[in-house]
Amino acid sequence: MAVQAYTEKMQSRQGYRNVWHADLLHTVQADVKYFCFSLWCGPCVSYLLRRRALYNDMSRYVCCGGYMPCSGRCGESQCPELCLGAEVVCCFGNSVSTTRFLLQDEFNIQTTQCDNCIIAFMIGLQQVACVFSIIAMIIGNSQLSQASQMLSCFADMVYCSVCACMQTQHKIELDKRDGVLGDQTMSIPGMQQMSRFDQPVPPAVGYPSHY
């Protein structure tokens, strides 16, 4: 049931009507400084962005946004800052994805094909590098081992770069929400607006629809 619910949530995002203000291909040129900050201090950026996504109200915080089996069982209500710190360090990839899902669900931002291709390439490259490392370890060939290490290094570089692009993308979206970009500001929504998984047709929230 949990897997089915997660799949339904992912599919529902395909029907959202809005798009990111900067796609993954253009986040670097949109905010070079923040991209560099995200690249070198990824966990710190993830911590800051999650707090902003929750309107700096840590009473809203749930570990990994409720997407993991441990969510809600890690003492978030007593020590949300500590739990978030542990999340961004120990589960960095999940922390970035969780902030992404929160923003998508709040503002009806669709998952585009371009973003899907980039993220799928990152994940696929990580898996190929892992397989090559295992094969090199079993065979024991020095040349193959060196090639697998180079592939693993390249996969890590792609992973870090894509995560930095995603976090820069999130920051730009939050800047728009908080009135840093343009003149549109928003008030803090009710608790029920932070998650829209059970709504078959997402209502228009935040930004005008793009067609």
Higher model confidence: residue 166 or residue 193? 166
pLDDT band with cut points at 50, 70 and 90 for residue 210:
very low
The confidence score (pLDDT) of residue 10 equals: 67
Mean pLDDT of 44-48: 97
pLDDT digits (tens, 9 = 90+) for 131-188: 888 888 888 878 888 888 898 999 999 999 999 999 999 999 999 998 876 544 444 4
Question: What type of residue sits at position 98?
Answer: T
Say whether 182 sits in a helix, a strand or coil: coil
pLDDT of residue 201: 42
194 close to 54: Cβ distance less than 8 angstroms: yes
Per-residue pLDDT of 76-127, as tens digits, reads: 888 899 999 999 999 999 999 999 999 999 999 988 888 889 989 999 998 9
Residue 55 has pLDDT above 90, yes or no: yes
Structure tokens, 125: 């490259």
Mean pLDDT, rounded, for 181-201: 45
Rounded Cα distance between 106 and 96, Å, is 16
Q: Are 128 and 35 in contact (CB under 8 A)?
A: no
pLDDT band at 5 (very low <50, low <70, confident <90, very high): low
First-to-last alpha carbon distance for the chain, in angstroms, is 34
Q: Could you tell me the two tokens for 115?
A: 């973003």
